[in-house]
Amino acid sequence: MGDERAGAPDTFRTAAGSGRAAFEIRGSEFVGRVRPVADREAAEAFVAEVREKHADATHNVPAYRVRADGDLLREYGDDDGEPSGSAGKPALNVLQQEGVENVAAVVTRYYGGTNLGVGGLARAYSRGVKEALADAGIAERRPREQFGVTVAYDDSGTVRGILESADAEFEATYEAEVSFAVTVPVAEAAGLRDRIRSATSGRAEID
């Protein structure tokens, strides 16, 4: 529900994969889902996907925590029509308490005819996220950033060798020149760019 600026950590906790939990409380069915996401756009796409799949549900309550631009932590939760403070905030609180980032959650509710009250709803939405996160598991990840490298064919083998020896993921596109889309841990990105510049005598275009 806001932004919090802090330095990017060396590692961060996130969901190890997708997770799901389902349970019933006084006739209402709750289904919690979590997924690791790379950025805010991916988080919102996941929320939209669940809302579309469960358009017949009474509520689809989203929450996410995503670190963007290296050091900006964006947090969001929405009650989606439930009483104020009974759904989005409790769902987000679980992500905060678990200390996870780059995670999106949606708890779907099919109303069963009995009102649960604000306290009951808060417990249910918290449980949906907590159990789905437990199902997914927690993993330690290193913040990563992306950049592009474009070189002539003569330098492409050198650049590929440097990328293969580093902790980097990359995709190469061979056209008039060779372009590499590189993903690398934030802490190693500057050094890797310097190695590529040095090895190609500055001929590599890096963006």
145 Cα distance to chain centroid: 14
b vs e for 159-184, b when ≥16 Cβ sit within 10 Å of the residue's Cβ?
A: bbebbeebebebeeeeeeebbbebeb
- Report pLDDT for 3: 47
- For residues 179 and 173, the answer to whether their CB atoms sit within 8 Å is yes
Distance from C-alpha of 1 to C-alpha of 72, rounded to nearest angstrom: 13
CB of 135 closer than 8 Å to CB of 19 = yes
Task: Return the pLDDT at 72.
Answer: 82
Where do the structural domains in the chain lie, given as residue ranges? Answer: 2-141, 144-206
Look at residue 203 in the predicted model and tell me its pLDDT: 93
Each residue's pLDDT tens digit in the chain (207 positions)?
454 444 445 778 889 899 999 999 999 999 999 999 988 999 999 999 999 999 999 999 999 999 865 568 899 999 999 999 999 999 999 999 999 999 999 999 999 988 999 999 999 999 999 999 999 999 888 777 889 999 999 999 999 999 998 878 899 999 999 999 988 887 788 999 999 999 999 999 998
Q: How far apart are CA 133 and CA 78, in angstroms?
A: 18
The H helix count followed by the E strand count for the chain is 5, 12
Q: Which amino acid is at 113?
A: G
* Cβ atoms of 69 and 171 closer than 8 Å: no
Per-residue pLDDT, 5: 40
What architecture (CATH level 2) is domain 2-141?
A: 2-Layer Sandwich (3.30)
| CATH code of the domain made up of 144-206 | 3.30.70.240
